[in-house]
């Protein structure tokens, strides 16, 4: 269970537009399914090749995503109020990237697979809200990736390139 009050979690969700259709009472029930998890600066949260057994909301700090090359090239980051780990969690395929806590560390609200399975049965409305939040998160990822690919294409084929 989280070490946070219902009011605090509800405010966090409202501020970051996470599951915003949940009532305060429903958020209070969700608390029992989530866990606090804290990682120190630069600590690996999950590695490429692992299958996600949880997803998490970033409560504080940043999560860095790095490639699997020798230099562990930074390919992205997410901050407070965003969902991480949802892709591998739902498709059960190995992660493509390593997730690492930012320099100042990170605090997560984690939903494990067993607790999600319970949530689907015991609190289906809440589970659907989390699933919808994951869909929006993945949609954001795809849209941002499209913008990045477009910018890269402009850079490669743009001005000064013959």
Q: Give the CATH number, domain containing residue 33.
A: 2.60.120.10
Lowest mean pLDDT among 37-41, 45-49, 154-158: 154-158
13 assigned to some structural domain: yes
105 assigned to some structural domain: yes
Work out whether the CA dihedral 151, 44, 128, 87 comes out positive or negative: positive
17 assigned to some structural domain: yes
pLDDT: which is higher, 156 or 18 = 18
162 assigned to some structural domain: no
Please return the burial class of 134, using the count of CB atoms within 10 Å of its CB with bins 0-12, 13-18 and 19+.
Answer: middle
pLDDT of residue 148: 53
Q: Are 55 and 88 in contact (CB under 8 A)?
A: no
Instruction: Render pLDDT for 72-122 as a digit per residue (tens, 0 to 9).
Output: 778 888 999 999 999 899 999 999 889 999 999 999 999 999 999 999 999
pLDDT of residue 144: 59
1 assigned to some structural domain: no
Helices (H) and strands (E) in the chain, counts: 5, 6
Q: How many domains would you assign to the chain?
A: 1
67 assigned to some structural domain: yes
Mean pLDDT of all residues belonging to the chain: 87
Range of the domain at 65: 6-157
Lowest mean pLDDT among 34-38, 49-53, 116-120, 134-138: 134-138
């Amino acid at each position: 269970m989280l070490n946070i009050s219902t009011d605090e979690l509800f405010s966090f969700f409202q501020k970051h537009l996470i599951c915003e259709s949940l009532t305060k009472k429903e958020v209070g029930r969700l608390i029992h399914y989530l866990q606090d998890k804290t990682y120190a600066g630069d600590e690996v949260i999950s590695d490429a090749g692992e299958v996600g057994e949880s997803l998490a909301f970033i409560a504080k700090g940043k999560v860095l995503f790095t490639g699997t090359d020798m230099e562990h090239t930074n390919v992205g980051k997410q901050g407070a109020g965003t969902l991480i780990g949802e892709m591998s969690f739902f498709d059960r395929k190995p992660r493509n990237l390593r997730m690492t806590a930012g320099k100042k560390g990170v605090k997560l609200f984690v939903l494990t697979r067993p607790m999600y399975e319970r949530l689907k049965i015991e609190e289906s409305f809440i589970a659907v809200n989390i699933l919808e939040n994951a869909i929006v998160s993945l949609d954001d990822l795809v849209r941002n990736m499209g913008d990045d690919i477009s910018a890269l294409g402009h850079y490669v084929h743009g001005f000064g390139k013959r």
